[in-house]
């Protein structure tokens, strides 16, 4: 039959009528309020962007942030991005008006990277449910850490432990400028999220179960070396 490739066949009259009837049933079902077919719609994030860093260059991120007081440098505004002004790692906690904000216990945090650290170094770490976040020696929280070497991992840190507790094995996502990264804590479910090329995936990159830190806490981000961040968001789910 004209228009068919070798090995194909035309639908029989019965098959055609059946397929047409099935499609008509779907349309009618929609009109009657039947549930729509499921689609892959991202479920993360559900909270707003908090900072886009579009302001003049400065040695700190400004009045809505508190920089790390030990263990790391502070982040700076560098050409409308957040990053570490020296060849080091910078870290800041979200603190609108100078007061560290508390979210949760169900909460999320996320950011977008515009540039990556060179080599195999750490790019960013996202923190949620943090306590004492400005002090590396006492901080507690859940961490999602991403490296330029296309490695990532979920951790739990309790009381500034120099060796955080891994919640997952090493993950191996493709890491590129323009990616989005996120961390969510819902009950005892801790999830890492990825948005390759700026488009969030519909399911988590990884999920772990942990009950060490179930209370509300702060949100924090660190960026290493040449890594730059263009937006930061999060809040209570």
Query: Measured in whole angstroms, how far is the alpha carbon of residue 34 from the centre of its chain?
Result: 33
Domains of the chain: total: 2
Whole-number pLDDT of residue 20: 40
Whole-number pLDDT of residue 24: 41
Domain that holds residue 16: 1-37
User: Does one domain contain both 146 and 175?
Assistant: yes
Most confident range (mean pLDDT) of 15-24, 100-109, 162-171, 223-232 is 100-109
Q: What size, in residues, is the chain?
A: 237
User: Does one domain contain both 117 and 186?
Assistant: yes
User: Does one domain contain both 201 and 222?
Assistant: yes
Instruction: Kindly tell me the sign of the dihedral angle through the C-alpha atoms of 124, 127, 132, 138.
Output: negative
pTM above threshold 0.75: yes
User: Does one domain contain both 119 and 151?
Assistant: yes
User: Does one domain contain both 112 and 209?
Assistant: yes
User: Does one domain contain both 28 and 82?
Assistant: no
| Per-residue confidence band for 46, with pLDDT thresholds at 50, 70 and 90 | very high
> 7 or 152, which is more confident?
152
pLDDT per position as a tens digit, 103-139: 999 999 999 999 988 877 878 999 999 998 777 778 8
User: Does one domain contain both 18 and 66?
Assistant: no
The CATH number covering residue 102 comes to: 2.60.120.560
Per-residue CA distances from 186 to 42, 108, 210, 216 (Å): 16, 9, 10, 11
Quick count: other Cβ atoms within 10 Å of Cβ 159?
Answer: 10
φ, ψ of residue 132 to 5 degrees: the values are 50, 50
- The verdict on residue 44 lying in a domain is no
- The verdict on residue 115 lying in a domain is yes
User: Does one domain contain both 74 and 184?
Assistant: yes
User: Does one domain contain both 216 and 121?
Assistant: yes
pLDDT(192) > 90: yes
pLDDT(8) > 80: no
User: Does one domain contain both 99 and 151?
Assistant: yes
- The verdict on residue 43 lying in a domain is no
Judge whether 168 and 188 are in contact, CB under 8 Å.
Answer: no
| Per-residue confidence band for 69, with pLDDT thresholds at 50, 70 and 90 | low
- The verdict on residue 42 lying in a domain is no
User: Does one domain contain both 88 and 136?
Assistant: yes
User: Does one domain contain both 144 and 202?
Assistant: yes
- The verdict on residue 87 lying in a domain is yes
pLDDT per position as a tens digit, 73-92: 899 999 999 999 888 888 99
């Amino acid at each position: 039959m004209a228009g068919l490739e070798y090995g194909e066949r035309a639908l029989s009259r019965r098959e055609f009528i059946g397929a047409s009837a099935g499609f008509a049933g779907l349309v009618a079902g929609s009109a009657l309020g039947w549930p729509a077919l499921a689609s892959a719609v991202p479920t993360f994030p559900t909270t707003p962007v908090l900072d886009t860093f579009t302001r003049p260059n400065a040695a700190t991120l400004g009045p809505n942030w508190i920089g790390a007081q030990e263990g790391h440098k502070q982040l700076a505004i560098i050409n409308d991005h957040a990053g570490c002004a020296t060849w080091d790692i910078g870290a800041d906690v979200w603190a609108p008006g100078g007061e560290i904000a508390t979210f949760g216990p169900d909460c999320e945090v996320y950011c977008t990277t515009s540039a990556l650290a060179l080599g195999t170094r750490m790019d960013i770490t996202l923190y949620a449910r943090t306590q004492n976040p400005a002090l590396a020696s006492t901080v507690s929280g859940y961490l999602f850490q991403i490296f330029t070497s296309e490695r990532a991992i979920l951790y739990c840190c309790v009381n500034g432990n120099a060796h955080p507790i891994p919640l997952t094995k090493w993950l191996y996502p493709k890491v590129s400028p323009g990616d989005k990264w996120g961390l969510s804590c819902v009950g005892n479910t801790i999830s890492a999220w990825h948005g390759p090329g700026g488009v969030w995936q519909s399911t988590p990159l990884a999920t772990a179960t942990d009950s060490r830190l179930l209370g509300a806490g702060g949100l924090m981000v660190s960026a290493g070396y040449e890594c730059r961040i263009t937006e930061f968001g999060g809040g209570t789910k």
